[in-house]
Every structure is written in structure tokens, then in C-alpha cells.
Structure 1
Amino acid sequence: MWLVRAFFVVVLALGLSACGGKFRTYNGPEVTSIQVHKSERKMYLLHNNEVLEQFDISLGKEPVGPKQFEGDFKTPEGAYYISHKNPKSQYHLSLGISYPNPAQVEYAASQGKAPGGDIFIHGGPPRPVNKRDWTAGCIAVTDKEMEVIYSMVKPGTVIHILP
């Protein structure tokens, strides 16, 4: 009898641990674009003109104005695309954003500076922060929200980051 109970305990434990994974599946309408409204601290996942999901976001430590240079702590503005998925991000999960574009690289070079890079949509900080805008220029959501976004968005999806 104890063997049967032990078997069920093991099966239950394995079942519960499978529910706690960070990778979800999504079977809804395709996300055709993402809109980020920096001034409103909102991000929208869209299928054509229909909002599928919306999220409150955190931005770079200097949220006003577009990113121009490495280390300016600003979030880019403009049209980009999701370049890749990073399942091993130090911020839970992340989606790469194709910043900088060639014009941004050229402008930064003309100023004798680097344009920066490694801009992502990612999960919450690995430790608590006391500020709403805390990233080095990325777009941050909670870890649970990032799991949803990661499941819905594919590389190549257009992202419009608006002031």
C-alpha cells in the first residue's frame, strides 16, 4: 500500500513541476505587430488593428527622447523588428529588438560615439528596484507577462516604439 502512495506522490510532484515552467504555448491569432507608447508606459500586441494583449512597461532610466548612444539609458524610438528569442536571458526570457538601424549607426559614428545595442523586451529585474524606469534602455514587464509575450511573438514581428 505504501508503494502505491509513494507512486502517486511522485506522479503528483512531477505533474506540478511541469505546470511551473516558463515556456507557454499560444494558439490564438498571430501577433502582426507590437506598439510601444513610451509616454503612456504601455505595450500592445496587435493582430492587424485588433489589440490582443496590453501591458504596463518599464523603460530605460532616461525615458524621454530616443536612444542615440551607448550608455545614454534611453529606450529607442522608431520602427524595428524582433530579431530573436533568448530563452536564457538574465531577465527570465527576452526578445531582441533590431536596434540600431544603419542610420543610427552612422549618426552615432558621426558624433564619435557608439550607438549601443542589446535592446530587448524582457522580464522583471533579478532583484527588486525602487524606480519605475530602471533598465539600461530595454522594455521590461513582469516575468509572468514575459512568458505570455514570449509565447505569442515570433522573430520578424514589427515593433513600433513611439515617444
Structure 2
Amino acid sequence: MKRRIFLMGIMSAFLSGCASKFRSYGGPEVTRVRLYKGQRLLVLDGGDGVLQTYPVGLGFAPEGHKQFEGDGRTPEGAYLVDKRNPESTYHLSVGISYPNEADIAFAEAQGRSPGGDIFIHGGPRPGIEPTDVHDWTAGCIAVTDRQIEDIYAMVKDGTPIHIFA
């Protein structure tokens, strides 16, 4: 009986370790992230070329550059990965440095807020993949929960992200 309890404890510890959303990555450094909005494709680049690609969902109004809070658009331009949220509502998330100074100046000139809190994040809810409901975010970049686990481990703060129409 004691042996069975011991073995069940080991098995439980092993399985809980497998279920962690935090992954490790020991491969080549991600030197740049590229997003092609028209192709709904996120690309992670390393020093010797492409390391990984992912299909994505975007903001609910995907055409054009994000200009104002609530416009449903995903930004376009050059930004940085600037933060991460391990407690994200959307599994895990990696932040993008939108808005930059030009984004802020444009919105303020129009008497509006540029918005913010743009992230690469996981899916909308369990059982539904982000690519099953294209363009459902408020301007973020959505991937599956498994994919954001990899991205979260691979992409470090300070990595450039270039977002193309």
C-alpha cells in the first residue's frame, strides 16, 4: 500500500511538471520578430534565419495601423518586446511597446488616446483556437496557448518587432 501511494505521488509530480505553461528554451537567440498582417503570419528570426513561424489572429478591424484606443486595429511599424505577463487572461502574453512617440503625438493631435496594452497572447478560451475565430482581439496578436508558451520562452524583452501591413 505504501509503495502504491509513493508511486502515485511520483506520477502526480511528474504529470504536474508536464502541465506547466512555462517552457524552457535553449536554442538560438531570437534576434527579431516579424508580423505580416496580410498573411496572418508571425516569424521569429535568429542570427542564421527563420527559427519559427506561427499563424495568428489580429484585431477585429485588421486593415490599417492602430491609431486610437478602441479602433480594433493591430499596430504597424517598428516596436520592441517590452514586458511579459505570466498571469494573462489569455494564458501568457508578451507585450509590444505600442504606442511610440509618433503614435502618441498623432492621437493627441486628434484629441484622442492612442490606446495601449498590445500583446502577443494565447487563445480566447479553452477549446477554441485563435485561428478558428480570426481577428477577434482589440488589436493584439493571438496565437494558440501552446504557441504562446514557446514564444514566451524564446523571445526576450528588448527584442525588436516589426509589424508590416
TM-score in terms of structure 2 length? 0.95
Structure 2 alignment gaps of length 5 or more: none
Segments of 5+ residues of structure 1 without an aligned counterpart are none
Query: In the alignment, what sits opposite 2:155?
Result: 153
Quote the Cα distance in structure 1 between the aligned partners of 2:8 and 2:76.
52
CA contact (8 A) 1:23 1:147 kept: yes
Query: Which residue matches 2:113?
Result: 114
Look up the SS of the partner of 2:15 in the other structure: helix
Alignment equivalent of 1:133, drawn from 107, 132, 135: 135
Deviation, structure 1 residue 6:
1.3
In structure 2, what is the Cα distance between the partners aligned to 1:103 and 1:16? 48
Question: Does structure 2 conserve the Cα–Cα contact (< 8 Å) formed by 1:90 and 1:126?
Answer: no
Query: Aligned runs of 1:44-55 on 2, under 5 Å?
Result: 44-48=43-47, 50-55=49-54
The equivalent residue for 1:88 is 87
**Separation in 2 of the partners of 1:49 and 1:78?**
23
**Residue of structure 2 equivalent to 1:162:** 164
Does structure 2 retain, via aligned residues, the 8 Å contact 1:43–1:55? yes
SS in structure 1 opposite 2:67? coil
Runs of 4+ displaced beyond 2 Å: 126-131
Q: CA deviation at 1:49?
A: 5.3
Cα distance between partner residues in 1 of 2:70 and 2:48: 35
What pairs up with 1:1-150 in 2 under 5 angstroms? Answer: 2-48=1-47, 50-126=49-125, 128=128, 131-150=133-152
Equivalent residue letter for 1:12? M
Range with bigger deviation, 48-57 or 123-132: 123-132
Cα distance in structure 2, aligned partners of 1:100 and 1:17? 38
1:126 is displaced (CA, Å) by 2.5
Give the RMSD, CA atoms, in angstroms: 1.2
How many residues matched?
162
Residue 53 of structure 1 aligns with an amino acid whose one-letter code is Q
**Could you tell me the percent identity over the aligned residues?**
52
| Corresponding letter in the other structure for 1:150 | Y
Residue 55 of structure 1: how far off its partner (Å): 0.1
